[in-house]
Structure 1
Amino acid sequence: MGWKRKWRTSMASLPRKPQTGSGGVFVFDVGGKAWKSYDWSQITTVATFGKYDPELLCFAHSKGSRVVLKGDIPLKNIVEPTLREAWIAKQLNLAKKQHMDGINIDIEQEVEESSPEYYALTALVKETTEAFHREIEGSQVTFDVAWSPKCIDKRCYNYSGIAESCDFLFVMSYDEQSQIWSECIAAANAPYNQTLMGYESYLNMNIDPKKLVMGVPWYGYDYRCLNLSEDHVCTLPKVPFRGAPCSDAAGRQVTYKAIMDQVNSSISGSQWNTQQQAPYYNYKDADGHLHQVWYDNPKSISLKAAFVRDHGLRGIGMWNGNCLDYSGDAVARQQTEDMWRALKVNG
């Protein structure tokens, strides 16, 4: 245990990247060793959604970056204040034991406005933030929210209250087809205009732009088409989700790495949809079925990064850092560098 005490003491003297200001990159990491190839010159926070990795923790700290826990709990378990207190104490003890710098609360459950869970969730965020700030110097508490505050997926949260109660919100500007209310057709994971409408809604609630980090997807959706028209309209089977007749559950998530491995051999090659400001392509599988894949690339991400800069948002991030090809292959290396570069909001 001696090395831990020595390391803990030395951490106090390491420089931390600032929590405030635009330009920081918030990374979700789901495990493995891909983090060794991340662009650490940009990263301010790593949220660990994989197995605890002390090597990642030490490396991130050496770069002045925070590493935070994932926090999740069934909302029915936090309505009682004593249950909230117990959960917070457990997370705090784990953070201290693992030398973490805070927690990212990722609760994506249905909540009715003004329900007991509505008030309990806001209280949980406030009490977690107070406890972490009190017990761990310089700690950071963040909360993941949907691409829009307008009850997406029946998540009718107290968004302004939650924003006030934590350090900032990570806006998950992806899975924006989780509820399809119009035609049941394939579309972009994070269409440009729709994404920006979400931020306008948050800002119109008088949430400080410095309380918002834009999340972008480093993955896409592969949809098997019931029919693919000549003008590239892919009709989908109806898969309902939380009240909506159709959803992106009709497709499957695919990483940017897998997309780049496939796009050049597709029947269409990469296409650009000007209305949604996003790329897509069509391919035929081994059984002869037609598919359409929608994704984000450096061009579509750069457009969104410009909004972060122009509107003074706190920063940008992605789900998730592991989705790129870090193999070192020359073509893959360039593709990966381009995706990291697209996140830059300060020039």
Structure 2
Amino acid sequence: MARTGYAYEMFLVLPLLLLLQGCWFVRATPRAGSCPCEDPKLCEPITDVKDHEVFAFYLGGKVWKFYDWAQVTTVVLFANYDPELMCYAHSKRARVVLAGNVELRYIIDPNNRTAWINQQVDQAKKMHLDGINLDIEEGVLMFSPAYYALTALVQETAKTFHKEIQGSQVSFDGTWSPTADLTRCYNYSAIAKACDFLFVMSYDMRYIIGLAGANSPYEQALAGYEAYIKLGINPEKLLMGVPWYGYDYICRNLHEPRVCTLKHTRPYKSKVGDQVCYCTLMKQVNGSLTGRLWDDKDKSPYFDYKDAAGYFHQVWYDDPQSISLKAAYVKERGLGGIGMWHANCLDYSDDPVAIQQTKDMWKALRPYQ
């Protein structure tokens, strides 16, 4: 319909007034249909069906250029949108998806829920993205309004994305076991049925108060997947999340055989130590008191060191050996794939030692190849 009279004049003048008043902002994200790639075909959604997913959680910067793109199938944006990343990922037939989080009390109202979902879809379209990863880690009581609202959110998000963006992918991040956190009573069977993948976060699993220990113990991690499968969830919908980081614990006492009682404790919390990326730990381990040690029970490496203040520390982490053991289960049990938190935790420099360490960590995701 043609614009007439005053309304038409304001349509022409208002942008100029806003510009003069310093109120005109240019959005970094392109409009739907405005492709930032040299080849416009790269802005088309990825519709490929993968026989094995590898999720890479991206936290910013340009290190994505050094990811193992022969493996990566989905990049999750836990950082600002980078159109160059989107174009490159699409050239490698990899999806790039939003990271979505919303307060559950807000989406108890169906109208708010619909508005939030539409906003995410619109954003994905503007950025030429391929779906969304729902990372909601809020406490929920069984059969509460939030319990039902969360399930509805996943169902409606998946339905809307699949309808609006061809080949789009909707995933949900779950705890290492469906009963791992009794404050998070989620209807995981319904959630997994609604979305494409349930990304199981097999880390931050240390709940023994007062002692340092493995971040992702082998038997415990695998038991979590068996618990999900017992709920009736198809193994192909489960993605194994492995940590590319460890925890640095300060010891009140360090007893033989290498038992670290913690200087600081917080009941029912795993994060009583400092989270440290793998690349940083690799710069520490060779100069530590012990060098790399191996715990055969939890199938996890660790080492001890002493800081400048005289305190002993114990560091537990995952490396190619521990990750390969868990990754082998992915194939054996027929899971849908694997991924890491987070892909920026490796050293992507040109240092020869770092190059090999980084190569080994990526290879550990599919050790059977």
Aligned amino acid, residue 76 of structure 1: R
The 8 Å contact of residues 54 and 74 in structure 2, kept in 1 or not, is answered as: yes
Report how far residue 209 of structure 1 moved: 0.4
The corresponding residue for 1:10 is 41
How far does residue 236 in structure 1 lie from its aligned partner after superposition?
Answer: 1.5
Question: Cα distance 1:286–1:98, how it changes in 2: closer, same or farther (>3 A)?
Answer: same
Per the alignment, do residues 155 and 246 of structure 1 end up closer, same or farther by CA in structure 2, a change over 3 Å counting? closer
Shift of the alpha carbon at 1:237?
Answer: 4.2
Contact 1:30 1:49 in 2 (8 A): yes
Deviations 1:68-124 (A, max 9, x none): 001001111111100100100111111111111000000001011111101100000
Q: Does 1:29 align with 2:58?
A: yes
Structure 1 residue 52 corresponds to structure 2 residue 81: yes
Judged with a 3 Å threshold, the aligned counterparts in structure 2 of structure 1 residues 7 and 114 are, in CA distance, closer, same or farther, namely farther
Picking from 181, 197, 222, the partner of 2:223 is 197
Which letter does structure 1 place at the counterpart of 2:338?
Answer: I
**Which residues of 2 match residues 109-188 of structure 1 at below 5 A?**
109-152=138-181, 154-177=183-206, 180=207, 182-188=208-214
- What residue is the counterpart of 1:295 in the other structure? 317
Q: Deviations over 1:3-55 (max 9, x none)?
A: 61886851377975424x2x321110000011100000011100010111111
Distance 1:253 1:209, change over 3 A: same
User: Which whole-Å CA distance do the structure 2 matches of 1:54 and 1:76 have between them?
Assistant: 33
TM-score (ref. length: structure 1)? 0.93
Deviation at 1:184, TM superposition (A): 1.8
Could you say which residue in structure 2 is the equivalent of 1:276?
A: 298
Letter in 2 for 1:250: V
- SS of match in other structure, 1:226: strand
Alignment of 1:234-313 (within 5 A): 234-237=260-263, 239-240=265-266, 245-313=267-335
Structure 1 residue corresponding to 2:100, chosen from 56, 61, 71? 71
Indicate the SS of the match to 2:356. Answer: helix
Contact 2:99 2:134 in 1 (8 A): yes
CA distance in 2, matches of 1:332, 1:298: 13
- Aligned-residue offset at 1:235: 0.7
Give CA deviations for 1:156-188 in whole Å, capped at 9, x if unaligned.
Answer: 1000000001011000001112xx2x4520010
Amino acid at match of 2:160: A
Are the equivalent residues in 1 in contact too, given 2:260–2:314 (CA < 8 A)?
yes
2:239 aligned to which of 192, 208, 213: 213
Is 1:66–1:101's contact at 8 Å kept on the other side of the alignment? Answer: yes
CA–CA distance in structure 1, aligned partners of residues 289 and 263 of structure 2? 22
How much does 1:304 deviate? 0.4
**Which has the greater radius of gyration?**
2
Aligned length: 338
Using the TM superposition, give the Cα deviation of residue 247 of structure 1 relative to its aligned residue in structure 2, in angstroms: 2.5
Mapped partners of 1:71, 1:148: distance in 2: 21
Cα distance in 2 between the residues matched to 1:51 and 1:92: 16
Task: For 1:158 and 1:218, locate their aligned partners in 2 and report how far apart those are by CA, in whole Å.
Answer: 28
Structure-2 residue corresponding to 1:94: 123
1:322 to partner: Cα distance = 0.3
AA of the residue aligned to 2:366: K
**In structure 1, what is the Cα distance between the partners aligned to 2:111 and 2:367?**
43
**Mapped pair 1:82 → 2:108:** no
Distance 2:231 2:224 in 1: 11
Q: Deviations over 1:203-256 (max 9, x none)?
A: 11110001100000000000001111021111124543xxxx243322010000
CA distance in 2, matches of 1:7, 1:158: 44
Q: How many angstroms apart in 2 are the aligned matches of 1:262 and 1:65? A: 34
Q: Is the 8 A contact 1:151 1:157 kept in 2?
A: no
SS of match in other structure, 1:56: helix
- SS of residue paired to 2:348: coil
Q: Which 5+ residue runs of structure 1 have no aligned equivalent?
A: none
CA contact (8 A) 2:210 2:265 kept: no
Residues 236 and 114 (structure 1 numbering): CA distance in 2 closer, same or farther, change over 3 Å?
Answer: same
Structure 1 vs Structure 2 CA RMSD: 1.8
Tell whether the 8 Å contact from 1:238 to 1:246 is kept in structure 2 after alignment. no
Q: In the alignment, residue 193 of structure 2 is paired with which amino acid?
A: E
* CA drift at 1:154: 1.4
Q: Displacement of 1:272 after TM fit? A: 0.0
Q: In 2, Cα distance between the equivalents of 1:226 and 1:307? A: 36
Q: Report the TM-score when normalising by structure 2.
A: 0.88
